Amino acid sequence: MLSEVFQNFVYIALELTVLFVGISLLINLFQGFIPYHKMERLMENSHPLLSIFIALGLAFITPFCSCSTIPIVVNLLNKKVRFGIVMIFLFSSPVLDPTIITLMTAVLGIKVAVAYTVITSILSIIIGFALEKFGFVTQIKKVVVKGYHESEQKFNFKVAIMETIQLMKNVYPYLLLGAFIGAFIQGAVPTEWISTFLGGDKWWLVPIAAIIGIPLYIRLSTMIPISQIMIAKGMALGPVMALMISSAGASLPEITLLNSIFKKKLVVAFIGSVFIMSTISGFLFYLI
């Protein structure tokens, strides 16, 4: 069994490493062509429909975890960008990661990746404007982020390599952890156990998975190899996606940071919104 687990780990780790390094380097090479300043200015003054697409585009091209989005959110709020648009960015940025979506396509298939992107984008828009409609704009504290500097990055191959290496330092351990857990599940956990207890159309698995994911700080890069094995062994897609989205969309470190810029009502609303987003997404994935 140990030999099988080790072989599975090596295979999964090598496959994901090649994909991750190649995709990350490609994305970092193109970062220099992205006009971040212009996008933020357009978000300030554009028609709401255009601002929505810009917010989703900015979320997609900024490969940040949930905690890393906070300085950008504060900067946008300080610039008086519409509250609903900022909330769309806040909810979509951690889950719309170009590297992760590409990995998801390679590991789980293009159908799952496209559905994931569409569902999370639409729900981010709905939740963002719903929070604005219910008047949560009054629940923002006045905060200025020190040390935040905007800068236009130019095309530079050396910089792209350095940023890829830095990203590997931050994310690669999580990728290896996910590969190890996935290899262990594949080699040691009986398929019958997973399909019996976690498979089928048990609706209650989705909200439970969403609740479990919220306090955890699990990167999507960790969850993708685990989810691939769990699905292959018979776990339903709905609970897997609910866990992925809730763990990416919220975490205890992020909630702590949000507590410094949002009042308690908005923090609670944020947590509830992530739960709703991941739960609805999980149920929708039952249809795939």
Q: pLDDT-based confidence at 128, cuts 50/70/90?
A: very high
As a whole number of angstroms, the distance between CA 282 and CA 131 comes to 22
Instruction: Check pLDDT > 90 for residue 249.
Output: no
93 with 69: CB under 8 angstroms?
yes
Weakest-pLDDT range from 16-30, 111-125, 182-196, 268-282: 182-196
Tell me, what's the pLDDT at 196?
66
Weakest-pLDDT range from 5-14, 30-39, 205-214, 260-269: 30-39
Q: pLDDT tens digits for 191-234? A: 566 666 666 678 888 998 888 878 765 666 667 777 888 788 78
Kindly tell me the sign of the dihedral angle through the C-alpha atoms of 110, 114, 119, 121: positive
Instruction: Check pLDDT > 70 for residue 185.
Output: no
Tokens of 153: 């990055």
Tell me, what's the pLDDT at 14?
81
As a whole number of angstroms, the distance between CA 100 and CA 82 comes to 28
17 with 199: CB under 8 angstroms?
no
Q: pLDDT-based confidence at 108, cuts 50/70/90?
A: confident
Instruction: Check pLDDT > 60 for residue 30.
Output: yes
Exposure class string for 208-238: b at 16+ Cβ within 10 A, else e: ebbeebbeebbbbbbbbbbbbbbbebbbbbb
Q: How far is CA 50 from the centre of its chain?
A: 22
| Residue 134 φ/ψ, nearest 5 degrees | -85, 10
Residue extents of the structural domains in the chain: 2-285
Tell me, what's the pLDDT at 32?
60
- Who has greater pLDDT, 246 or 70? 246
Instruction: Check pLDDT > 50 for residue 148.
Output: no
Helical spans, DSSP H, in the chain: 2-30, 36-45, 48-61, 70-78, 83-92, 98-108, 110-133, 157-188, 191-197, 205-213, 220-232, 237-249, 252-261, 264-285
